[in-house]
């Protein structure tokens, strides 16, 4: 059961995920979390680095959907200037929004990667939906109220995986 919380990969930032790496794995679509994955949870707009990352994906024909549990107002203000599709109020880790994103991308599970900073929402939801998952180190160490609670649980899961020898990266 706990293996559903184990990501397939771990990176420091989304910029480490290159179009070449994705294409080599047959990935044609990215479902990415927003807050603390792309930008700080309280930052309203994309940084130049994130804009460049999105452009590099688009240049290689890789589709992107932003999926967030946050409000439509928050997610649309970030996504619409970038002309990137989004799903707000996703209720991750429930699989419904993941399946909706896959359907909108018109791709199969093995052609999509889920990128996020939380085990309890992004990784669990992506794994339950059959996608390849990549855990990103949070952009900032501060979090909203509910995420702080999730982080306490995540620490316990990380400790379990560490004891079982399943973590192959530094926390």
Domain ranges of the chain: 2-163
Regarding the domain delimited by 2-163, which CATH topology (the fold level of the hierarchy) does it fall under? Rossmann fold (3.40.50)
Distance separating alpha carbons of residues 6 and 3, to the nearest angstrom: 5
State the average pLDDT for the chain. 92
| Most confident by average pLDDT, 2-6, 19-23, 37-41, 167-171 | 19-23
pLDDT tens digits, 45-101: 999 999 999 999 999 999 999 999 999 999 999 999 999 999 999 999 999 999 999
Q: 142: which 2 tokens?
A: 């501060």
Q: What is the pLDDT of residue 1?
A: 67
Non-local (6+) Cβ contacts of 60 within 8 A are 19, 20, 22, 23
pTM (2 decimals)?
Answer: 0.90
Q: Are 126 and 145 in contact (CB under 8 A)?
A: no
Q: What is the pLDDT of residue 143?
A: 61
């Amino acid at each position: 059961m706990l293996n559903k919380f184990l990501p397939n990969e771990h990176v420091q930032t989304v910029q480490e995920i290159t179009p070449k790496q994705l294409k080599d794995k047959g990935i044609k679509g990215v479902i990415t979390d927003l807050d603390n994955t792309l930008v700080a949870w309280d930052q309203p707009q994309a940084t130049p680095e994130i804009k460049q990352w999105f452009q590099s994906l688009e240049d290689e024909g890789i589709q992107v959907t932003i999926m967030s549990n946050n409000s439509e107002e928050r997610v649309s203000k970030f996504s619409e200037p970038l002309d990137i599709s989004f799903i707000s109020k996703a209720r991750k880790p429930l699989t419904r929004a993941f399946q909706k994103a896959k359907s909108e991308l018109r791709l199969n599970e093995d052609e999509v990667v889920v990128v996020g900073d939380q085990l309890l929402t992004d990784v669990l939801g992506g794994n339950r939906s059959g996608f390849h998952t990549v855990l990103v180190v949070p952009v900032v160490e501060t979090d909203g109220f509910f995420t702080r609670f999730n982080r306490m649980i995540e620490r316990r899961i990380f400790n379990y995986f560490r004891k079982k020898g399943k973590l192959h990266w530094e926390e």
